[in-house]
Amino acid sequence: MTLQIKSLEEYHKVYKGSIDQPEKFWAKQARTFEWRKPWKKVLEYEFDSPNVKWFIGGKLNITENCLDRHLKDRGDQIALIWEPNDPSQVYKTYTYKELYTEVCRCANMLKANGIKKGDRVCFYMPMVPELTIAVLACARIGAIHSVVFAGFSANALADRIKDATCKMVICSDYNARGAKLIPVKAVVDEALTMDCDSVETVLVFKNTGDKVKMKRNRDKWWHNEIEGQRKTCRAAQMDSEDILFILYTSGSTGKPKGVVHTCGGYMVYTCFSFKNVFQYKPGDIYWCTADIGWITGHSYIIYGPLLAGATTMMFEGVPTFPDAGRFWHICEKHKVNQFYTAPTAIRALMAKGDHWPTHYDLNSLKVLGTVGEPINEEAWNWYKEKIGKNKLPIVDTWWQTETGGIMISGLGDISPQKPTYAGYPLPGIQMCLVNSDGKEIRGKDKEGLLCIKFPWPSMIRTTYGDHERCRQVYFSAFKGMYFTGDGARRDKKGMYRIIGRVDDVINVSGHRMGTAEVENAINEHPQVIESAVVGYPHDIKGQGIYAYVISQDKAVDDAFRKEILQVVTKEIGPIAKPDKIQFVSGLPKTRSGKIMRRILRKIASGDTSRLGDVSTLLNPEVVKAIKAGALS
Ligand code: PRX
């Protein structure tokens, strides 16, 4: 069985061993899984290209480890609980046996529809069990899944379908989110008008049953196609380094990139981190509230928990529907033991009043988790006090789409608690701080740029179709290091606190966005000449989006603002809509023409007192005007 650390002393001991002999450590963990063929070499790497390979020559199928190997001992244990958007609808459960059968039937359906090993399948789905089933079905036959969060627009979906040249799109008819019905099939139809020539089939899951248009010879109903499919499906034999999935994420430049994760290392790391961070014990009910459209859902709703033989729950709805007690109601209803959510959700619920959690019995809870953005002290204290009754540990888990799994976090109730500190790195994770020259900052009580100086099994292998971009973004800043893009502080005890992004990436309600991406969207409005987007502190969202826009002819009024919001919604999706739009006559630029975002960030945050020296700017006069017109 995968190691589960039981005390702080053991953690320190295991950590040391994992750093002294990383290959030995990870080989030991990897041996707890079922491999069709053992690996010949544990690790091969160099960060310059980059080239990272784990468990070289090993053959496996991750779904045999998620499902088949559990059938003997826990076939009748519940693997998956599904809680619907509408609380009056009955919830569903799948035992490991049932989930295995459904995954096999679905895998056979995919094969019958022409999907083969290596093909890319795009998902644009609500949080229904069929999403988990079909993701695992892809993995079973060696197809590569690319799940796109269903809040993205048709344009954004089309970009992702094209980049990965997907052969199939799996969607639902409509998504139910809170009181809203979202016509997802129509969004897919629109995306497919945008040169998505690789798509041969659209598989439509009937979710709400509301009317949709079906295109002949392309669109097929899931319920028709699944009928009569066999209940077993031999899993494809995958190489440890074959691609398991692609997941798009935003960076500081240009279009989102497809982060590639591979089978062997991802399997080993997600299971290991899940068991240790959440201190999952047999019989526990674990709930992560993330959407499977993000990495958290991939690693800690689907793969990590199922690999560990856990009972994992997925929730279709939103935290405030039908009211702000929904999360706590679900915790009570299903006797949840580990609860994992985002700071933005905690802040939103905190704002609704302290009485909501008091209506529910939260005694089953053992571990509370957070992820996605820095948690402020007020939210941390509220979570600890109102949900944890001052007794439960909070695991503040720092990681990224690219890291595949949790890198820094407390381990259940084992680790010391310090508000706003994520804590110690997990075993095998060699975090470090560097200064802007790339020199490692050693010692305690230090601040710097957060890097990782040794590979770990679930790390990004490449960016799909563009390896050079992967090198450039993550491995070129500092030699021999993976650069996270975050700044961090290490305290006297060696615990880490994440300060936030140091690049042009903003984090809005835990959603990662590139400022360039939002600017490109705004610039699509024909009357916009140029724009600059920065983040600013926001009480609920963590960061809000502040856009400075130069327009020419158009009257600068709220109608124009609305048009800009529509353009952004069309280009990316509602999550990227600026909270504030300030019309300006110019943007502060350096003599080489680069926008001085530092100044814009300060003004957006309401701090106009110390803007530093602006005299070296190409156009220092605009700063005064921007300051005068700043929106509060
Ligand atoms: O800035 C960090 C922030 O989210 C970024 C990664 O975003 P994404 O790839 O979308 O993955 C989010 C879920 C894993 C990081 O670079 N971040 C993530 N977790 C934390 C965090 N910032 C502070 N504390 C965290 N616990």
Q: Are 469 and 218 in contact (CB under 8 A)?
A: no
Average pLDDT over residues 469-492: 97
- Cα 396 to middle of ligand 1, angstroms: 10
pLDDT at position 611: 82
Sequence length of the chain is 632
Q: From the alpha carbon of 408, which atom of ligand 1 is closest?
A: 26
3-class SS of residue 190: helix
- Cα 498 to middle of ligand 1, angstroms: 9
Look up residue 514 and give its two tokens: 């590139």
- Cα 475 to middle of ligand 1, angstroms: 18
Q: Distance between CA 427 and CA 623 in Å, rounded?
A: 48
Tell me which residue of 349, 285, 358 sits closest to 321, measured CA to CA: 349
- Render pLDDT for 39-50 as a digit per residue (tens, 0 to 9): 999 999 999 999
- Cα 399 to middle of ligand 1, angstroms: 5
- Cα 367 to middle of ligand 1, angstroms: 20
The DSSP code for 90 is P
Q: pLDDT band at 343, cuts 50/70/90? A: very high
Q: Are 438 and 482 in contact (CB under 8 A)?
A: no
Share of the chain above pLDDT 70, in %: 100
Bridge partners of 482, per DSSP, are 452
The answer to whether the bond into 357 is cis (omega within 30° of 0) is: no
- Cα 400 to middle of ligand 1, angstroms: 5
| Closest C-alpha to ligand 1, atom 6 | 400
| Closest C-alpha to ligand 1, atom 25 | 398
pLDDT at position 426: 98
Per-residue pLDDT at 616 exceeds 90 = no
- Render pLDDT for 73-90 as a digit per residue (tens, 0 to 9): 999 999 999 999 999 999
Query: Pocket of ligand 1, candidates 292, 373, 508: which has the most ligand atoms within 8 Å of its Cβ, to mutate?
Result: 373
| Closest C-alpha to ligand 1, atom 23 | 374
pLDDT at position 150: 96
Q: pLDDT band at 255, cuts 50/70/90? A: confident
- Render pLDDT for 540-589 as a digit per residue (tens, 0 to 9): 999 999 999 999 877 778 899 999 999 999 999 999 999 999 999 999 99
Per-residue pLDDT at 386 exceeds 90 = yes
| Closest C-alpha to ligand 1, atom 22 | 373
pLDDT at position 552: 83
Share of the chain above pLDDT 90, in %: 94
Tell me which residue of 502, 26, 511, 566 sits closest to 272, measured CA to CA: 26
Residue with tokens 């995306």, as numbered in its chain: 191
**Mean pLDDT over each residue of the chain, to the nearest integer:** 96
Q: Is 611 in the pocket of ligand 1 (CB under 6 A)?
A: no
Average pLDDT over residues 153-172: 98
pLDDT at position 558: 86
Between the CA of residue 142 and those of 186, 231, 312, 560, 618, what are the distances in Å? 29, 18, 23, 48, 54
| Closest C-alpha to ligand 1, atom 7 | 400
- Render pLDDT for 501-529 as a digit per residue (tens, 0 to 9): 999 999 999 999 999 999 999 999 999 99
The H-assigned helical ranges of 278-384 are 295-297, 304-307, 326-334, 343-351, 355-358, 377-382
Q: From the alpha carbon of 406, which atom of ligand 1 is closest?
A: 14
Bridge partners of 317, per DSSP, are none
